[in-house]
Structure 1
Amino acid sequence: MKRGTMLIVFAIACGLVAAGTVYMYLGRAMAPKPVSAETVTVIAAKSAISPRTKLTQDLVYVREIPVEAVHPKAVRDIDTVIGLIAKYEILEGEQIILDRLYREDERIGLVSSVPGHMRAVTVPVDEVVGVAGFVKPGDRVDIIVTASGVGQTGDVAFTALEDIEVLAVAQETEDKNQGRAKVSTSVTLAVKPGEAERLALVEKIGKLRLALRPMFASATKGQGIVAHDLLKEVKGWSPPKTSADSGETRQPAATVSAAPAAAKPQTSAPAVRDSKAPSIVEVIRGSQITYITLVEVGEVSQP
């Protein structure tokens, strides 16, 4: 009996010791950790900042937080972020991280390449119009237009815009081919608002052609030329002759009275046809010229 009683007492004592040890361990583990008194300053957002928003003094502030809560890439100096643009949404109170901002030299698509007072306009090109694919982003070009002329002048060609910057070729805003030619179907240009309207109109009335400018081109502009002036330089060419050039006398166009004249009885013999060649009358109505052939007396025939 004594031996059994001693075993029971020993077991109870071991249990009490184990319970006490567990209690002390849990008490230490669940005790609140001492708060560090050391803090640092970081830059945080005053309110939610939308993507592509330029950071200003009104959107950020200096915040003090414990050292343990500081993000490794958090910005400490407020002047570092002023003027930069947010890539993604930044929540209220969130620490400003440089990886979530666009750098000053980093492009935000095509919109960041357009100067503030300019507009981006795209024109279609092919191998010929686009200078065989040698036009690259950053180059400068002249835009030449060819259109149909009026009358004897023939077709015309003139420089519509000069010294225009190329923003993009197709969907590329950078020269990834290192200067090698690449034929594309479109070119995006940086033009002023008034030039954008002019470009849209000349594209409708004629055909465009890009002329690649040298890197240090002088400010020269073509005067335009018409087909008539160009053909005059060809030896042996002469413009089409008109009735005035052939020596024929101009006669006024025949007019018809509003009220018909009273019919007179014809007592004379039928008119004898003139054996001479028929006369040709030139009628000018505004900018339109019409030629009328007088076949016989009293009758007019228009070819």
Structure 2
Amino acid sequence: MRLRSWLFLSLGIVLALLTGIALNGVAQRSGERAAAAPLEVETILVASTDVPARTVLQGSMLASREFPKALVPAGAIASEAEAAGQTTLATIPSGAPILRGQLVAADGKSGASLTLDPGSVLVSFPTNDPLTAGGFVSAGDRVDILATVTTGAGENPKRTQTIVQNLEVRQVIGPTKEQPQRATALTFIVDHQTALVLKYLRDSAATIDLAVRSRAEPDNSTTRSVDITYLVQTFGIAR
């Protein structure tokens, strides 16, 4: 029995050695095939520095980089001549590929109007509401404009309503070290009629607050205006 056990053990060791030798040979052949087939690359343009939106591209902002061909994004530009002189529609981070969809031919011009669709305008909305003042509103947030307005004379002339909904904050303007007295304001891109509504609210001395919306709530909500009568009837306030 002992001799038989040794025979089986020896046979197992020999088989293990043969398997290891075979696998090593396969690995070597695979490595040789991989070395024989070099990775295909393609040279494209990337931003050599952070490029803000609405910037006219200059050669100093561009660099050529080799990318694996399979990873080159659609619309990537390879020639500096094709990109130089065009205007960026959005911020391009340093090292990011330059894509045709990020640029617009504007005859070397820059400015906010290059990023606006027809029928849209960029507006500034000064505000001192608590959320903005507290730093809770940032570019990219979507907000609703709540306003309390005086609707006439009488015992209960004030009404509060959600006036405009789902506005995307493009930029938060505020005091800086160089301009400590600069007023706080939000910028929005809206249609012409909404621009007039926002201006009227500013000029009418309405009491205005913002409500930050959930990113998961893209649709407008139906609300009722609130006055003292609504509060009394809804919450049973004694008068």
Q: Which has the larger share of helix?
A: 2
- Bucket of the pairwise TM-score, normalised by the shorter protein: 0.3 to 0.5
TM-score by length of 2: 0.48
Larger relative contact order (Cα-Cα within 8 Å, sequence gap ≥ 6): 2
Which structure: larger Rg?
Answer: 1
- With normalisation by structure 1, the TM-score equals 0.39
